[in-house]
Amino acid sequence: MMSTPRIQDPENVIQVKNLSKSFGSVVAVNDMSFCVKKGEIFGFLGPNGAGKTTTLSILEGLRKLDRGRVRVLGMDIDKNAKTIKSQIGVQLQGTSLLPDLTVFEQVQLFSRLYGYQHNRPEIMSFLERVGLDTKAAALPDHLSGGQKQRLALALALVNQPKIVFLDEPTTGLDPQSRRVLWDLIRELCDQDKTVVITTHYMEEAEALCHRVGIIDHGRLVALDTPGNLITNLAGVSSITTSVNLPLDEFQQLPTVIQAQHDGYKLSIQTRDVAVTLRFILDLAQKHCLSLNDLHIQQPNLEDVFLNLTGNRIRN
Ligand SMILES: Nc1ncnc2c1ncn2[C@@H]1O[C@H](COP(=O)(O)OP(=O)(O)O)[C@@H](O)[C@H]1O
Ligand SMILES: [Mg+2]
């Protein structure tokens, strides 16, 4: 499932081979190899302390690696850190905004740091892109959590980067603000930018990312599309109903792993929801039973993580 990265492919805007980084005796990044493709939203999913920020900071040229090779936009991170930094956008984990500068002034300052002399309409168009044009004169203290994160995103975009790195941009946000940010991130991808994002929310990785790298204790334990990860590594769905269908009938379905009745409800573990569901409907009809409470629980990335590591993502 985890294919060997093709290091020469020009479509790979990030190429990492055997990357390791330790802090004293703590191995934060342990022999990671992967590629990020141009135009994709690539997510690192893992619990706190898994090594997401350390990995990102190496890709961003902010930390030195101990071992391995990292190429960003075709350039070696050791030799071309300065050029690479000019072509990437970085939103650090829990970005702190400057308390005494207005939203407008923060964007202006960041643009100048990158050597741009953006005029007022240009800066306002940056703010419009993240829905903050009406907040141009506000100080950060007067912004909501979601607005702060959108400002941090605008700051990561001032240099028109080809790759945008976002370290847990939605942590602590309410579901609606999170969705607004997801839409903005998807728009970046429509503009041909590549997005690398970290998260410990499995729903976020599943909903937003084209491919997800699952990290645990510094190791990349799986890398694939959310759909493939779930199909290959979590595969079992469960169907429950309180209607008492004859258990032995399920033996003829090879995709059913287990069918049991606990006196109150029937639960069926299956590798193929569609086939099993059709079978249940037919069976109910045959026995003249109506299925008034049917529940389907499909596996998610949390199950993938649990299967791979033996732990839950949030413990
Ligand atoms: N500057 C540092 N000094 C010492 N240990 C660190 C430092 N930064 C990170 N670590 C350790 O490295 C591991 C990975 O941390 P980090 O990359 O921040 O994980 P994540 O972002 O997934 O929460 C953790 O065990 C953390 O305590
Ligand atoms: Mg982190």
- The 10s digit of each residue's pLDDT in 190-208 is 999 999 999 999 999 999 9
- Give the ligand 1 atom nearest the CA of 167: 21
Tell how far the Cα of 48 is from the centroid of ligand 1, in angstroms.
9
What is the C-alpha separation between 104 and 135, in angstroms, rounded?
8
Rounded to two decimals, the pTM is: 0.87
Nearest alpha-carbon partner for 29 in 18, 14, 37: 18
Domain boundaries, the chain: 12-224, 236-298
Give the range among 56-70, 86-100, 103-117, 182-196 with minimum mean pLDDT.
86-100
CATH of 236-298, one of 3.30.450, 3.30.70, 3.40.50, 3.40.30: 3.30.70
Contact 210, 225 (CB under 8 A): yes
Give the range among 39-48, 193-202, 253-262 with minimum mean pLDDT.
253-262
Residue 54 Cβ contacting ligand 1 at under 6 Å: yes
Taken as a whole, the chain contains a residue count of 315
pLDDT tier at 260, thresholds 50, 70, 90: very high
- Give the ligand 1 atom nearest the CA of 93: 21
- As a whole number of Å, the CA-based R_g of the chain is 24
3-class DSSP state of 157: helix
Residue 23 Cβ contacting ligand 1 at under 6 Å: yes
Q: Which CATH architecture has domain 12-224?
A: 3-Layer(aba) Sandwich (3.40)
Q: Does residue 95 carry a pLDDT above 80?
A: no
C-alpha dist (Å) from residue 217 to 45, 52, 60, 118, 195: 12, 10, 21, 43, 23
Fold match, 12-224 / 236-298? no
Residue 64 Cβ contacting ligand 1 at under 6 Å: no
Tell how far the Cα of 17 is from the centroid of ligand 2, in angstroms.
21
Looking up tokens 């499995």, which residue turns up?
A: 202
